[in-house]
C-alpha cells in the first residue's frame, strides 16, 4: 500500500481485516516497526476519533506523531493552479506540501468537501494535490468524498458481530437519517464502496427521493425509498445523514419520518445499530436506540485504532 485514500488502495480487504483483528488481540506486538519514523496528522477540519485513534495506532507502532491543526494554526492554503494570491490565501499547496514531505515519513490529511462545487469535490482536488506534491505516503483521514479509515473500521465491526444464524450473508442496511445541517456524502459513499468491495453482505441502501448517492460508490447495490422494507430482517443498520448529491449539498425536504425508533426496528433481526459519530441525539438517532443494547457505536469507534494500525503497518512495511 503506497497511499490509503479509498477501498481501491486496500489491496486484499479480507487480509486487512484479519490484520486489524490480530492487532486488536496484541496491540503492542510491532512496537519496533515504526521506530525512527514520523507521522504528520494535518487537519483542515475538526476531528476527535480519527485524530486520537490514528495517533494511538502510530504510537503503538513506535512512531513519533505530530498533529498540525492547519485550519487554526497554519497559513491558509491556496489550491488553484496559476492563482494570483492577492486574496485571503497565504501559501500555495505546491510550496507547502513538499516541505511536509521533508518533515514526515507518512502524512494523514483531513479535508472536507466544499459542498458547493461538486465537480471539484468529486475530483478530490485537495487530497490529490497533497499526494502530487508531498512525495510521501498519504492516508485519508476523511476527504471530500470518502472516509476509508472509518469504513474499514465499520467492516471490521460487522465481522466481529456477525449473527449466529443460518444466513450465508448478513443483511446490512445503510439508512439515511434527518439532520439540521447539510453534511457531506463521504461516510455513506465510503461505507457503500467498502461493503460492495468486501462482498460478504446482502447490502441495501434506503434513502428518500433526491438523496441517491453517486453510483460510482454504490456499485450496483439496491437503493430503495422504502425504509421499512429495507429494514426487514436486517442484521446491521448503519444510520447516517448526507446532503443531496443530485442537488449538490442541499437539504431537500422529505415526506416521511426517517428517524428510526424501536417500533421501526422491530422488523429487523434484532439488528445492531451503527453510526460513525458524532451523532445529533434525537435528530439523527433517538436516545432509545443509542442507549439500547443493540447499539454498537462505542465498540465501533474503539475499533478505529485497529483499522488505523493495520493501515499504518502495511505502509510502514513498504517503506525502505
Are the CB atoms for 107 and 136 separated by under 8 Å? yes
Pick the closer one to ligand CP by CB: 191 or 245: 191
Taking the complex as a whole, the smallest distance from the CB of residue 276 to ligand CP amounts, in Å, to 4
Nearer CB in complex with ligand CP: 61/141 = 141
DSSP 219-230: TT--EES-HHHH
Distance of alpha carbon 282 from alpha carbon 142, whole angstroms: 25
- Least Cβ distance, residue 300 to ligand CP (angstroms): 9
Q: Using N-to-C axis directions, what is the helix angle for 148-160 and 49-60, rounded to 10°? A: 80
Output the smallest distance, CB 310 to ligand CP, in A: 17
CB of 154 to ligand CP, least distance (A): 10
Q: Which residues make up the interface to ligand CP (CB under 6 A)?
A: 47-50, 142, 150, 276-277
Q: How far is the CB of 53 from ligand CP (least distance, A)?
A: 8
Contact by Cβ (8 Å): 312, 106: yes
Q: What ranges in the chain are assigned the alpha helix state H?
A: 13-25, 49-60, 70-73, 93-103, 118-122, 125-134, 148-160, 186-198, 215-218, 227-231, 262-265, 287-290, 297-302, 304-318
Q: Least separation, in Å, of the C-beta of 150 and ligand CP?
A: 5
Chain centroid to CA 36: 28
Distances (CA, A) of 308 to 60, 61, 297: 11, 11, 17
Taking the complex as a whole, the smallest distance from the CB of residue 46 to ligand CP amounts, in Å, to: 6
CB of 51 to ligand CP, least distance (A): 6
Q: Which is nearer to ligand CP, 175 or 303 (CB)?
A: 303
By beta-carbon proximity to ligand CP, the closer residue of 118 and 275 is 275
Per-residue DSSP letters for 156-206? HHHHHT--SSS-SS-EEEEEE---SS---SHHHHHHHHHHHHH--SEEEEE
Closest to ligand CP by CB, 132 or 280: 280
Give, in order, the Cα–Cα distances in Å from 291 to each of 35, 53, 146, 262, 288. 41, 23, 28, 11, 6
CB of 220 to ligand CP, least distance (A): 26
Q: Which is nearer to ligand CP, 149 or 231 (CB)?
A: 149
Task: Select 50 or 309, whichever has its Cβ closest to ligand CP.
Answer: 50
Q: Closest CB to ligand CP among 47 and 89?
A: 47
Bridge partners, residue 274, by sequence: 238
C-alpha cell read off for 99? 516541505
For ligand CP, the closer CB: 19 or 55:
55
Q: In whole angstroms, what is the distance from residue 3 CA to residue 24 CA? A: 22
Rounded to 10 degrees, what is the CA torsion of 78, 84, 86, 88? -20
Residue with cell 476509508: 148
Amino acid at each position: 500500500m503506497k497511499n490509503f485514500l479509498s477501498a481501491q488502495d486496500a489491496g486484499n480487504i479480507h487480509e486487512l481485516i484479519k490484520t486489524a483483528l490480530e492487532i486488536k488481540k496484541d496491540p503492542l506486538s510491532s512496537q519496533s516497526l515504526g521506530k525512527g519514523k514520523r507521522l504528520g496528522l494535518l487537519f483542515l477540519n475538526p476531528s476527535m476519533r480519527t485524530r486520537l485513534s490514528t495517533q494511538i495506532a502510530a504510537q503503538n507502532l513506535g512512531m513519533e506523531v505530530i498533529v498540525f491543526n492547519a485550519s487554526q494554526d497554519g497559513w491558509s492554503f491556496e489550491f488553484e493552479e496559476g492563482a494570483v494570491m492577492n486574496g485571503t490565501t497565504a501559501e500555495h499547496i505546491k510550496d507547502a506540501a513538499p516541505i511536509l514531505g521533508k518533515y514526515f515519513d507518512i502524512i494523514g490529511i483531513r479535508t472536507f468537501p466544499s459542498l458547493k462545487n461538486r465537480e471539484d469535490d468529486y475530483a478530490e482536488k485537495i487530497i490529490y494535490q497533497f499526494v502530487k506534491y508531498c512525495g510521501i505516503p498519504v492516508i485519508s483521514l476523511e476527504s471530500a468524498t470518502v472516509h476509508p479509515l472509518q469504513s474499514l473500521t465499520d467492516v471490521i465491526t460487522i465481522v466481529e458481530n456477525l449473527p449466529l444464524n443460518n444466513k450465508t450473508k448478513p443483511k446490512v442496511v445503510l439508512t439515511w437519517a434527518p439532520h439540521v445541517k447539510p453534511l457531506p456524502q463521504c461516510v455513506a459513499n465510503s461505507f457503500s464502496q467498502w461493503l460492495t468491495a468486501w462482498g460478504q453482505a446482502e447490502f441495501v441502501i434506503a434513502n428518500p427521493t433526491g438523496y441517491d448517492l453517486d453510483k460510482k460508490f454504490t456499485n450496483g447495490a439496491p437503493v430503495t425509498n422504502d425504509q421499512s422494507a429495507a429494514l426487514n430482517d436486517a442484521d446491521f443498520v448503519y444510520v447516517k445523514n448526507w446532503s443531496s448529491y443530485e442537488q449538490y449539498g442541499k437539504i431537500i425536504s422529505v415526506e416521511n419520518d426517517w428517524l428510526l425508533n424501536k417500533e421501526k426496528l422491530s422488523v429487523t433481526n434484532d439488528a445492531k445499530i451503527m453510526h460513525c459519530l458524532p451523532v445529533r441525539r434525537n435528530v439523527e438517532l433517538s436516545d432509545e436506540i443509542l442507549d439500547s443494547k443493540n447499539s454498537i457505536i462505542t465498540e465501533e469507534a474503539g475499533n478505529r485504532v485497529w483499522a488505523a494500525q493495520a493501515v499504518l503497518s502495511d505502509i510502514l512495511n513498504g517503506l525502505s
